[in-house]
Amino acid sequence: AQTVTQSQPEMSVQEAETVTLSCTYDTSESDYYLFWYKQPPSRQMILVIRQEAYKQQNATENRFSVNFQKAAKSFSLKISDSQLGDAAMYFCAYSLGGSEKLVFGKGTKLTVNP
Amino acid sequence: GAVVSQHPSRVICKSGTSVKIECRSLDFQATTMFWYRQFPKQSLMLMATSNEGSKATYEQGVEKDKFLINHASLTLSTLTVTSAHPEDSSFYICSARFGSYNSPLHFGNGTRLTVT
């Protein structure tokens, strides 16, 4: 079974600084997708960034980028120039290619200090 | 953009009663919707996949008779928690996909269910 592990229950960062959230996953498949979702206090799940496993290039979305290490099965999220609005729970997630199911990690609570 | 609406956002019910939660795709048709459950400070756990016009597919350990799912149209899926008990108190979130199988999921705002 596929599993997603987030080893950092909580992280904090100063406003305008950079923070990296860790995620590892376990799968024997070659075709899959990885995601980072943000869940602010409103509880709305918001897609931050997505990575296709077949792509070697790391995905980026403005201040958000990932470090995808396929051999190591690692998928970390880097948030640059952190803003107060970035404070939220961040969930790493995996889905098998062709499947619509998402498997989530346990989440990392990010605090942004002014 | 694509929006998923979930209603109600909060509901309190007495033990033994049933509660229905609606999930609507507002500006797109969703043949498949997903229902998740999230315990406090926990991750989202997939409960079931709701398929329009057919029976839902439940994950292992989820009681079909307890959590009734109906996907009667391409824009509406409902989750009914039957004979609710305090241990059913949780946060329930639905999601739907807009586009092909590898397009991102869109999530509803969730429903906080409290059973007294």
pLDDT tens-place string over residues B31-90 = 789 999 998 878 899 999 988 888 899 999 999 999 999 988 889 999 999 999 999 999
Q: What dihedral do alpha carbons A85, A89, B8, A101 form, nearest 10°?
A: 130
In a mutational test of the B interface, the residue from A5, A45, A106 whose CB has the highest number of chain B CBs within 10 Å is A45
Which amino acid, residue B22? E
Largest CA distance in chain B: 41
List strands edge to edge, sheet with B67-73.
Answer: B4-7, B19-25, B76-81, B67-73
Compute the distance between CA of residue B39 and CA of residue A33 in angstroms, rounded to an integer: 25
Among the listed residues A28, A36, A31, the one whose alpha carbon sits nearest the alpha carbon of residue A97: A31
CB contact under 8 A, B110 and A104: no
| DSSP secondary structure string for all residues of A27-55 | -S-SSEEEEEEEE-TT---EEEEEEETT-
The token pair at A6 is: 């987030």
Which residues of chain B lie closer than 8 angstroms to A102, CB-CB? Answer: 34, 44, 46, 95, 105
Among the listed residues A48, A43, A39, the one whose alpha carbon sits nearest the alpha carbon of residue A87: A39
pLDDT in tens, chain A (114 residues): 779 999 999 999 999 999 999 999 999 888 899 999 999 988 889 999 999 999 989 999 999 999 999 999 999 999 999 999 999 999 999 988 767 788 999 999 999 999
Query: Count of CB contacts below 8 A, A vs B?
Result: 47
CB contact under 8 A, A106 and B104: no
